[in-house]
Structure 1
Amino acid sequence: MTVRRLHTITFLDSLGTGSYVAISVVYFVQVRGLSTGGVSLVLGLAAAGAALAGLPLGVVSDWLGARPVLVISHVAIGTLFAFLPQIRGPVGLGVVLVTIAVLQASIGPAKSTLLYSYSNPEQRTREQAIQRSIFNIGFAVGAAVSAVVTALAGDAGSVGLIYLNACSYLGCAVVAIALAPRTREPTATATATTDRGPLAVVRDRPFLLLTGLYGALALSECVIVVGVPMWVVTVGAPQYVIPFCLLLNTAAVIVLQTRFSRAADGTGRSRRFLTLGALAFAAGAASLAAVPPHDPSRAQLMILLATAAFTLCELLASAGAWALVLARVGARDQGAYFGTFGMSFSLQAVAGPLLFGWIVVPHGAIGWLVLGVAAVALLPAIGATVTRLGRARTRPQLA
């Protein structure tokens, strides 16, 4: 029952987030009068704040408890979104949005900690995958709701969707209050690491390397959201291929993530999944490099093939990395470890748009080929990092 409530929180959260993200940029530019440069700056600062807050908020979750952090964060975020339409001036909007992003950085580690505690050890990787699939379902539904509402009600509908997002967060807080306060007893692996201290993660070099490597592979998600649309415009490919790419990615993650995660348990399989993920990333980059500038039919085919490859990378890397993370955390530092690992998502959200907008896309096919070569260059580091993690997972000391 408790795990189902966590899944309910994820669905409500993603439902509101999907409805908000779909209209946020248009709302801030057309309704609030901000420039596109101003919106980019605010979103970049928000992502940077979330990245920096991951570890501290994870430590707070370990100290205060994951359930109180989950309740407080959802109440605070819901309240801020409820007041967002009334805030005037770009500075006030920027402060609120950065604050929301920082608070949102606490939700992932808190939910992961609770899911870790409430799930049987053999089910943890699978439950994390289910969470990811549920998030994608909720996000897709929210985006669809947003499309209908804005088509029918225009700018007024955008404001209503912001209030809907606020209600979704407050609803999450209500469900979080009903979560069982007690967690399972630590497992043998966790017990062996309970003396590490709340900041031991900053000395756990193999885990930090895993976080960085996964952040690099997680750029596959940013490619589909940011890189592919930029490349479509640059090469003059039909723009209707963009939503098809997003639909392909979302549907594949919903259907396949749990199956991939079930097959990723074990150090050897995790290494294989991360290695194949890097190769899939390279294949996707090569496909985008091969997109012809004046051949719409072939361009669509190559872009869809690239999307399939990047989606495969997302599935493989997520399954392999989460299996290693769940085997690494201890009984008293779950929030710190989950918060640190969550920084990989925030960092790619900051670096991705800059990488594709300033470096890769402006250099054309060469830029994509260099990106693919960089992915292949990660292979030795992946092998060494996974080996070190596997060697130390049953020892109390850090590698």
Structure 2
Amino acid sequence: MTATARLRAVTAELVPPAGVVRVVSLSNLAKTAAHGIIMSVSVLYFTTSIGISATRVGLALTIGAAVGMLVAVPAGHAADIFGPRNATVLAMLALGLVTCGYAFATSFWWLTAVACLVLAGESATDASRGALVAGVVPPEERVRAWSYFRAVANLGVTLGAVIGGIGLYFDSQAGYRALLLLAGALFAVAGLAYLRVPVVPPTRNTEAQPSLVVLRDRPYAAFVVLNALLVMNGPLLTVALPIWIAQRTEAPTAIYPVILVINTICVVLLQVRVSRGAERLDGGARAWQRAGLVLAACCVLFALAGGLPLWAAVAALLAGALVHVLGEMLHSSGAWSLAYGLAPEGSHGQYQGLFGMSTQLGSTITPFAATVLIIGFGWSGWLVFGAVMCAAGLLAPVVVRAARKDPTRSGFSAPDEPAKVPETRPATDEPATASGDEAAGDPLSTDRS
């Protein structure tokens, strides 16, 4: 292979292809940059500048997360009925507006109300966007598309954190408010970008079946439970590991930022490549099997770091970080494959809503569970988490087989016969010259799930 061919191959894995995937990727860049800003400044703003106690801030965000989970499925169902493109635009614009409310929160109750609106908007956005991707991207290309979205997301969160870090350096109330307003504006920019995506016709439910059919789909329910367990790998890295390093290992705490950098670089460079082969249900199930085993191995390595001298603890932590990011990427690939492949075409909004709910659930319960098990019991807590994720990964093929055999299910994307993509028509309100490359231009030049 020539040097030019190698360069093209590398570029193809790092740069989203022109058209819908690039537009959504750039929208995601703006969206996750907003997340990075909020993550880096919001808690300190509420606790130090506004004077709300850390306990109450945590409670407000927990209540908001619960509301967001309750909204997910109905919001996805609404996207199916009214059309996911327009639903995504409206949800993103609403998210941008309510996010600005963070800048003016002055009490616990105000913060709670805003958090409920923001996290409900997040759930609605994620569900409608998932349905939109199902409508405009062929089944066999969805996993690869989401690989690009996730790689770009890591860049977006990093960019937002850097911007937030500047605000933390100056440490002024006006600066914090300006950054939170900027986050709201970035959400709005991300939403307007979807006007460049073709309209997906709404679903017409002519059959005598329940409107929220996902709530009766037992194989899919089993899948989302397993997903909630595997999703725990994220908070284990971001919540449990830094406390473990500081309290239970001889390694310097400075190793933790290095681990985060390794994670970000690996996802940006390798997520698309790792996702190969997960396009169909069988491939997605295999990816999850491997993810469970790999994540269990990373838990063992992190646990070992607690009883080793400094140099060996650092080596175990770095090895665990590399193993963790591989498991994280395998889990993501399998999750995208099964989330779409186990859902009937035409109902992706509500199914993506339930899938998103499982992700939120896993992310919400893990910090508490990790504090109790890992910080409370030490290395044995890591082994418990490793065993849980190993079991969740190994059960993926069982769920796929159950879905195939269930006589009440129809319309999901079987591994050898990808389901048809609903016919789309160009948006009547987008510019006639909006080609794939142009769609990725000016409206999204700011920065990015």
Normalising by structure 2, report the TM-score.
Answer: 0.81
Partner of 1:131: 149
Matched, 1:331 2:345: yes
| CA distance in structure 1 between the partners assigned to 2:216 and 2:291 by the alignment | 27
Query: Given the alignment, which residue of 217, 225, 238 partners 2:230?
Result: 217
Instruction: Using the TM superposition, give the Cα deviation of residue 13 of structure 1 relative to its aligned residue in structure 2, in angstroms.
Output: 0.6
Distance 1:339 1:194, change over 3 A: farther
Q: Which residue of 2 aligns with 1:28?
A: 46
Q: Which residue of 1 aligns with 2:325?
A: 311
2:253: which partner in 1?
Answer: 239
Q: What residue is the counterpart of 1:146 in the other structure?
A: 164
Give the deviation of 1:97 after TM superposition.
1.0
Stretch moving more, 250-259 or 154-163: 154-163
Give the total of aligned pairs.
393
What CA distance in whole angstroms lies between the structure 2 residues aligned with 1:317 and 1:391?
A: 24
Instruction: Tell me by how many angstroms 1:395 deviates.
Output: 5.9
Work out the CA distance in 1 between the residues paired with 2:118 and 2:354. Answer: 19
The equivalent of 1:342 in structure 2 is: 356
Tell me, yes or no, if the aligned pair for 1:118 and 1:183 is still in contact at 8 Å: no
In structure 2, distance between residues paired with 1:389 and 1:80: 39
Write out aligned runs for 1:137-216 (5 A). 137-152=155-170, 154-182=172-200, 197-216=210-229
Indicate the SS of the match to 1:378: helix
Q: Percent identity?
A: 25
Write the distance in 2 (CA, Å) between the matches of 1:29 and 1:261. Answer: 40
- Summarize the Cα distance change of 1:363–1:78 in structure 2 as closer, same or farther, 3 Å threshold: same
Deviations 1:304-356 (A, max 9, x none): 22222221221111111211222232332110111111112100121111111
User: 1:255-266, aligned counterparts within 5 Å?
Assistant: 255-266=269-280
Shift of 1:240: 1.0
Q: Does 1:282 align with 2:296?
A: yes
Q: Given that residues 217 and 313 in structure 1 are in contact (C-alpha distance below 8 angstroms), is that contact kept between their aligned partners in structure 2?
A: no
Judge which range, 369-378 or 32-41, deviates more: 369-378
Q: Which is worse superposed, 196-205 or 272-281?
A: 196-205
Q: Which runs of 4+ in 1 moved over 4 A?
A: 152-155, 193-197, 390-395
Cα distance in structure 1, aligned partners of 2:299 and 2:312:
16
Cα distance, 1:180–1:354 mapped onto 2, change above 3 Å: same
- 1:45 matches 2:58: no
Offset, 1:389: 3.1
The equivalent residue for 2:33 is 15
Give, in whole Å, the separation in 2 of the partners of 1:135 and 1:207: 26
- Which consecutive unaligned segments of at least 5 residues does structure 2 have? 1-18, 413-449
Contact 1:360 1:367 in 2 (8 A): yes
What do the CA deviations read for 1:162-216 (whole angstroms, capped 9, x no partner)?
11101101212322334332459x9xxxx9x987653111111111111111111
Residue 88 (1) aligns with residue 118 (2): no
Q: Which letter maps to 2:245?
A: V
Q: 5+ residue gaps in structure 1?
A: none
Structure 1 214/83 Cα, relative in aligned 2: closer, same or farther at 3 Å? Answer: closer
Question: After superposition, where does 1:369-380 map in structure 2 within 5 Å?
Answer: 369-378=383-392
Moved more, 379-388 or 342-351: 379-388
